[in-house]
Amino acid sequence: MNEFFYYLYQYLFYIVNGLLLFLILRFIFARILKTYHSNWNTLIDDFNFSTEEFYQLFKKELLSQGVSGINTNDVSLHEGSIFSQKRRYVRVKWKEYQYDICAAPFGKGFFISWWLLYKSSIFQILISKIPFVGEWLARKLFPITYYKIDTASMFMTYAQSSVLKVIDEITEGKGTRAIPETERKPILKDIFKR
């Protein structure tokens, strides 16, 4: 009977350790796999609007652009640690891109922000970490092409124009100052730099 418990203990030990290792690696790779591409935000001062209605208008506008393969869903993301409150976002996925947008009342205004992330494969990350030759090998196996740069720019442009169109529609005729052209441009990061 003691032998049975010994093997049961070993079996459970390996399962628990395997699960812990999986969770740790998943946490590490989830942070590494997504690279920030660009972001944008604005505060519409002295303006009150429904977050839910903004999200519905944004989804409708983005999906009307005729880009196939776009998926949208609502997600709740922590404001800080796993013990902090959550904030609701709309997540848009297309190819290897993830676009998270937040719209919410803030003070007397209405705040809108978005983040565009590029997702690398686990294989690409592992290859790039090989000592001495990893970066070179990753550049050869996963080259940065004009196509990749252009698709990121096209997706960001469609998403940003959808956000701006919704903002213009909801503020038009309500005495709210229009967003100046200088504040309509996203902040870009060179994600394709290695």
Q: What is the pLDDT of residue 32?
A: 52
Burial class (CB in 10 A: 0-12, 13-18, 19+), 138: buried
Quote the pLDDT of residue 27.
62
- If you average pLDDT over residues 16-45, what whole number do you get? 74
Encode pLDDT of 137-185 as tens digits. Answer: 988 998 888 988 888 889 999 999 999 999 999 998 787 888 888 888 8
Q: Is the model's pTM score more than 0.85?
A: no
| Structural domains of the chain, ranges and CATH numbers in brackets | 35-188 (3.30.530)
Q: What's the average model confidence in pLDDT over 20-30?
A: 65
Task: Give me the mean pLDDT over the 50-79 stretch.
Answer: 92
3-state secondary structure of 90: strand
Above 80 in pLDDT, residue 194? no
